[in-house]
């Protein structure tokens, strides 16, 4: 009687419903009779399922009215009745009977009320236990969530507040699980970014490696499909030095946005055939020139404002890093380069000579060397001034660079004296090289910087050529001394000539 209903759940799906009553019809009859002294009859669907009447006066299946007087086995009873909920949506009829015809109606009513209260108490008890079960499930689910288990599902039954609470709880668990997954993904990205920052410290002076890290970080940071970095070579042409993802699939959009960013000298975003692309110039700190460009692209959706801000930040930091690399390379170059001629300085020349001679000994090759000295250079300075002398040295240095191979090392040895280290070159090869340079210097026609003097200036130089044969164990000093002696002989013999050592 007064059943409560609970849904049976198997792995998140409804497997059935359980209806249970905490009070049987027989117990109800006994309790009401004990409390009121009245006879009790419980009927369901016209059938008696429990009664307190003695067998001799039993109703024998007779359907009793809801009120009034009724005669059973020769005895008259006054009765009152009411309906109570039963199983499967049905109801049960409860009848209270007083045997004494003089029993007061008030006593019957009081008895009926007591029976109804007993029934209500039983129903409340069943509901309370059902609520306790639902609260217990919610509490268990909350404890599991506190341990990080977001797969928990709370059963939702019916349309009451507990069902709504369970539904909200399940939705919250699902949202938390999705958020945890997003945080795990963000954590992985952060770890990767930290790893790349560490790599950038190790590669801080390698421009291409640094830009490779920046491009990969930008692609991941803004959720792009691909990206790349381009810089300008010595001829002003754009050269790709780093990429991430399939650039070929978005090449048209990348080239379009890079052209727009280069011409405007600022960050630009464009959309081309469904592809969104971002590009930002890598400008110097003073903004005087563009060091390169970084661009990213993706299909299906444009970039958001936070993504654009992150990309601009990364590009700005990359510009600072690239400028620092350029500055470092400039300082390094200045440390080994003669400022006036652009050739290696004396210190760098000595280092190169030591390395090349060591390589010669290791691999059994020849090593050539020429020394040259400008003829009558002091007279040039005294007659035309030191600016004219500087022009002469720069033009002679240009001839040396243009005449040398990639493996040769021209240097300013000191004053108006210059040298060229010639790896893998024997004495005859060194002599031919010196003669070729001598003739080109002799053919120079240099403008006179003093505007008051008409005509052009012609200069000559003397050369000494020496070589370190592969079968000799002489060192750097011996080779330089041999070339210097040959140069002295060329000067003593009349200048503007080449003399072989030995």
**Residues facing 468 on adjacent strands:** 367
Catalytic residue selected from 39, 51, 307, 416: 416
Asked if 189 and 217 touch (Cβ cutoff 8 Å), the reply is no
**Residues facing 66 on adjacent strands:** none
CA distances from 458 to 224, 376, 388, 444 (A): 62, 11, 12, 6
Backbone angles phi, psi at 441, to 5 degrees: -70, -40
Asked if 348 and 336 touch (Cβ cutoff 8 Å), the reply is yes
d(CA 28, CA 33): 9
Residue 386, token pair as written in the block: 């030191």
Q: What is the distance of C-alpha 298 from the center of its chain?
A: 15
**CA-CA-CA-CA torsion sign (137, 139, 140, 144):** positive
Q: What is the distance of C-alpha 105 from the center of its chain?
A: 85
Residue 159, token pair as written in the block: 């349309």
Would you call 416 a catalytic residue per the annotation? yes
Q: In sequence order, what DSSP letters do the residues of 215-270 get, joined into one string?
A: HHHHHHHHT-SEEEEEEE-TTS-EEEEEEES-GGGGHHHHHHHHHHHHHHTS-EEE
Backbone angles phi, psi at 64, to 5 degrees: -95, 145
Environment class of 440 (CB within 10 Å of its CB; exposed 0-12, middle 13-18, buried 19+): middle
| Among candidate residues 425, 278, 439, 428, the one with its CA nearest the CA of residue 356 | 425
Asked if 275 and 250 touch (Cβ cutoff 8 Å), the reply is yes
d(CA 304, CA 289): 28
**CA-CA-CA-CA torsion sign (392, 395, 399, 401):** positive
Residues acting as catalytic residues = 416
């Amino acid at each position: 009687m007064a059943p409560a209903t609970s849904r049976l759940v198997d792995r998140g799906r409804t497997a059935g419903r359980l209806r249970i009553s905490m009070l049987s019809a027989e117990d109800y009859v006994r309790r009401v009779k004990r409390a009121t002294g009245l006879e009790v009859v419980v009927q369901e669907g016209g059938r008696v399922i429990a009664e307190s009447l003695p067998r001799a006066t039993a109703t024998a299946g007779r359907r009793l009215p809801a009120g009034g007087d009724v005669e059973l086995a020769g005895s008259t009873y006054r009765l009152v009745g009411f309906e109570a909920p039963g199983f499967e949506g049905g109801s049960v009829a409860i009848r209270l009977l007083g045997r004494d015809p003089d029993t007061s109606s008030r006593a019957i009513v009081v008895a009926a009320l007591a029976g109804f209260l007993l029934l209500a108490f039983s129903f409340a008890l069943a509901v309370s236990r059902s609520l306790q079960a639902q609260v217990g499930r919610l509490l268990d689910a909350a404890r599991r969530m506190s341990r990080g288990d977001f797969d928990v599902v709370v059963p939702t039954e019916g349309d009451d507040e507990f069902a709504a609470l369970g539904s909200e709880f399940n939705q919250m668990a699902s949202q938390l699980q999705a958020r945890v997954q997003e945080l795990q993904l963000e954590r992985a990205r952060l770890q990767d970014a930290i790893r790349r920052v560490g790599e950038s410290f190790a590669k801080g002076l390698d421009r291409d490696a640094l830009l490779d890290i920046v491009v990969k970080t930008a692609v991941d940071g803004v959720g792009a499909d691909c990206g790349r970095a381009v810089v300008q070579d010595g001829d002003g042409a754009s050269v790709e030095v780093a990429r991430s993802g399939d650039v070929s699939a978005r090449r048209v959009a990348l080239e379009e946005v890079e052209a727009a960013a280069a011409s405007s000298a600022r960050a630009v975003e464009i959309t081309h055939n469904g592809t969104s692309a971002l590009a930002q110039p890598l400008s110097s700190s003073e903004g005087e020139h563009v060091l390169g460009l970084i661009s990213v692209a993706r299909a299906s959706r444009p970039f958001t404002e936070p993504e654009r801000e992150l990309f601009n930040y990364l590009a700005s930091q990359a510009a600072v890093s690239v400028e620092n690399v350029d500055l470092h390379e400039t300082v390094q170059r200045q440390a080994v380069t003669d400022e006036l001629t652009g050739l290696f300085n004396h210190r760098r020349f000595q280092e190169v000579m030591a390395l090349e001679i060591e390589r010669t000994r290791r691999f059994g090759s020849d090593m050539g060397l020429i020394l040259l000295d400008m003829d009558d250079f002091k007279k040039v300075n005294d007659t035309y001034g030191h600016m004219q002398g500087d022009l002469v040295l720069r033009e002679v240095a240009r001839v040396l660079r243009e005449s040398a191979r990639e493996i040769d090392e021209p240097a300013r040895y000191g004053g108006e004296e210059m040298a060229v280290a010639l790896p893998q070159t024997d004495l005859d090869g060194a002599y031919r090289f010196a003669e070729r340079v001598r003739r080109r210097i002799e053919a120079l026609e240099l403008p006179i910087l003093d505007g008051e003097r008409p005509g052009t200036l012609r200069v000559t130089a003397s050369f000494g050529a020496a070589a370190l044969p592969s079968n000799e164990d002489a060192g750097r000093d011996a080779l330089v001394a041999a070339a210097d002696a040959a140069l002295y002989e060329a000067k003593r013999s009349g200048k503007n000539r080449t003399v072989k050592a030995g």
